[in-house]
Amino acid sequence: MKANENSTRRKFISHFAGTSVALLGGILLMNSCESGDKKQDSPVSERGGDTISVESCNDYTGVSAEELDKRKKLGYVEKSEVPGSDCSNCGLYIPPTEGAACGGCLLFKGPVEASGHCIQWVAKAE
C-alpha cells in the first residue's frame, strides 16, 4: 500500500514538474516576444533605425501628436527636479541602444532624456 502511495506521489510530482517547466518556457517565450515588440516601439524604430544621427533628445520629428500628448499629460520634463529620481533610474526607462543618444519610455513613444522625469516615475528594480 505504501509503495503504491509513493508511486502515485512520484507520478504527481513528475507530472507537476513537467507542467511547470512547460509553463515557465511559455512565459519566457512570451516575454521575449514582448521585448521584441517594445523595441519596435522605441524611438529607434520611429526613426527608421537611424539611431546615430539623433543628437538631440528633444527632436520629436516623426513622433505622432497622440504620443506627444501622452508625454505632456504625464508631465514629462527633460531635466528632473526631483532629487534622486530621473528617467535613468526609473523602471519604465528604455536605455539607449548602442550608438543612440536617447533612451525611451515604456509609456509613450519618442526620445527620452536619461535626466528626464514624469509623474509615473517608479524605482527601477535592483
User: Is the Cβ of residue 14 or residue 64 nearer to ligand SF4 in the bound state?
Assistant: 64
CB closer to ligand SF4, 101 vs 107: 107
Residue 18's CB is within 10 A of a number of other CB atoms, namely: 10
Q: Which residues bind ligand SF4 (CB under 6 A)?
A: 76, 87, 90, 92-93, 105, 107, 112, 116-118, 120-121
CA 54 vs CA 28, 77, 94, 107, 111: distances in Å: 32, 18, 16, 20, 9
CB of 66 to ligand SF4, least distance (A): 16
Nearer to ligand SF4, 63 or 76 (CB): 76
Long-range contacts of 12-21 (CB under 8 A, 24+ apart): none
**Least distance to ligand SF4 from the beta carbon of 80, Å?**
8
Measure the CA–CA gap between 63 and 115, rounded to whole angstroms. Answer: 20
CB of residue 110 vs ligand SF4: minimum separation in angstroms? 10
